[in-house]
Amino acid sequence: MANLSNINGKFVVEQTTGFVGIGTTDTSFLIEAAGTNAELALNAGSIYRLRSTAGNEFIITKNGVGDRLTISSGGDATFAGGMNLSGNFINVGNGQNNAENYLQLGNARTGNGFAYVDFVGDTTYTDFGLRVIRNNSGANTSSDIIHRGTGNFNITTQDAASLLFKTNNTTALTLSNSQNATFAGTISSGAITAPTFLGDLNGTINTVTTATTKGNATNDTTVATTAFVQNVIGTIPAGLVFQGTWNASTNTPTLTSGSGTTGNFYIVSVAGSTNLDGITDWQVGDWAVFIEQGASDQWEKIDNSSVLSGSGTGGSFAGWSGSGTSVTLGNAPVTFSGNNSTFAGNITLTPASGHPIITSGTSKDLNINAGSGNIYINNNATFAGSIGVGGIAASGGYMVDIAPSGGNIIRSTRGTSVFGSYQSNNSDVYLGTISNNTFKIITNDTTAITINNSQNATFAGSVGIGAAPLPVYNPIDPALLDTSTLAF
C-alpha cells in the first residue's frame, strides 16, 4: 500500500485506509504502535499509558504511580485497586466445562487482615445486612456469619437432603430430611426449651441439667423434676390432727361434704347416718378423716366399729365363738393337715340345685371311707348311674352289681327277712327269711304266695303246671284236691 507519509520508517499514515503506524511502516490497524514494549499514552492531565509487553501482557499504567490493570497472556486480570461494577451480576466460569470456578479474597497476603463478603439488600443497613467474614488475628482466628435485622436467619436444604454440622472435620450434629436431630456427642451445657421432642433423643443429659418446675395442680406430660415432687409432697399434711368427738346422729359439730382441713379427724361418739361425701354408715369408734384426693378433697371413714379378738390352735379352721352376733374368733370343729381336712361332727349338705357334691379332676371318683363303721343314708337316694356293691364297680350293663363275700345280701330288720343270701362254701344264692317268720310274694299289692315257717306254700290263685290249671287247695279238706286233673 502506498503511504501518505513515511518519516524515517517510524511514523506512517497509510494513504488508502488512513491507518496510523508508529514504529512500523506496514500498519494493519487504525492506530498501531509496534516494538518490544509498545506504548500508547493518553494525557489529559494525568498520563495513562497503555502498553503491550514482550510477555504478551496488556498493562494500563498511571504515569508516576504504577500499574493499575494487568491482563496476563492467559486472560487473567489484576487490578491494583478496588473495583465497582454497575452491572447486576458477576458470572464466574461462564461457558466452562469442568474447570474449577472460585472467588478468592486476600490471595498472596503478606500479613493478617480481615477478609469478608458483605450483602446489602435494604436501605437501613447500607454497609451490610449479612456478612461472611474471616477475622484478622492469624491462622487460628475466628470466622463469623453475621445476620442483621429481626427477620429469620434460615439455613435451608431445598430438597430431601440432610443438614450436617461438623467440628474438627467430623459430623457433630445431623438434621435429617425428616427433621430428626442426632448429636454425635453429649449435651452438657446450656438450656434447651422444647415442649415436644420429635424423634429420638440420644446421648447423655448432664447431671447438672435443670428444668422449670411445673405447677402443683398440673397433670400433664411435662417432665417432673425433683423440685416438683418435693413441692407436691410439701402439700401433704405431715400427720393427722384430732379435733374431738362427733355425734353422727345430730351432726354435732357440723361437718359438711367436701369442706374441711386436710388431716383433721373426728371419732364418732354416737352412731348415725349423717351423709359425708356419700358415707352414711357411722358407728361408735369410727373415724371421720378429711383428706386430699387430687382435685376434690373429701371426707373418708376409717372403720373401727368391728374389732376381732381371740386365739386358736394351729391346724384348725377359725370360727366365730358363742351364739348370735360375735366378735370373737376361736377353733372351728375342722382341722387340716397338708391337703387333708377332718370334720369332728356331722356334715350337712343343703344343695341349691340338686347337686351338693360335684367331683372334678381326672378320675372324678368320690370315695367315702367309714373305716370299720357304717355309712347311713337317712332319706331318699337317687343314683343317676349304676351301683356297685362289695368293693366293685358296676359292669356288664347291670344297674346293680353285687359281689358278696358271704352272709346275707339284702336283709329287712322288720321280721329279719332276707332277700338273698350267699354261702361261702357253695355258689347257691338264697331268698327268704332267717328266723321264725312267714315269707310272702305279693302282686298288685295282694299276697299271691305264702310260705310259712314250716316251708308249706299257699297259692292265693290257681296253679298251672304245663297248660292245665289246678284247683285251689283247701287246707281243711285235702281230699278235695283232684290230682287226676294234674297235667305235667
Q: What is the pLDDT of residue 466?
A: 57
End-to-end C-alpha distance for the chain, whole angstroms = 184
- The pLDDT score that the predictor gives to residue 339 is 85
Q: What is the pLDDT of residues 102-141, one digit of tens each?
A: 888 888 899 999 999 999 999 999 999 999 999 999 999 9
Are 200 and 214 contacting, i.e. CB atoms less than 8 angstroms apart?
no
10: Cα separation from own chain's centroid: 102
pLDDT of residue 329: 81
Q: Which amino acid does the sequence have at 253?
A: P
Alpha carbons 352 and 224: distance in angstroms, whole number: 57
Q: Rounded distance, CA 262 to CA 255, Å?
A: 13
What does the block give as the cell for 33? 504502535
Give pLDDT tens digits along the chain (488 positions): 555 566 666 677 776 777 777 777 677 777 777 777 677 788 888 888 888 887 888 888 888 888 888 999 888 888 888 888 888 888 888 888 888 888 888 888 999 999 999 999 999 999 999 999 999 999 999 999 999 999 999 999 999 999 999 999 999 999 999 999 898 888 765 555 555 555 565 655 555 555 555 555 555 555 556 666 666 666 665 678 899 999 999 999 999 998 998 889 999 999 999 999 999 989 888 999 998 776 778 999 988 766 566 778 888 888 888 787 777 788 888 899 988 888 888 777 776 665 666 666 666 666 776 666 677 777 777 777 788 777 777 777 777 777 766 555 666 555 455 555 555 555 565 677 766 778 888 888 888 888 888 888 888 887 776 555 555 444 545 554 555 444 44
What are the DSSP E strand ranges found in 365-414?
Answer: 387-389, 400-402, 407-408, 411-412
Spans of all domains in the chain:
3-79, 112-148, 234-302, 386-437, 438-488
- Cβ distance 174 to 181 under 8 Å? yes
Cβ neighbours, 10 Å, residue 165: 12
DSSP, residue by residue, 397-428: T-SEEE---SEESSEETTTTEEEEEE-TTS--
C-alpha distances (whole Å) from 27 to each of 23, 39, 148 are: 9, 15, 59
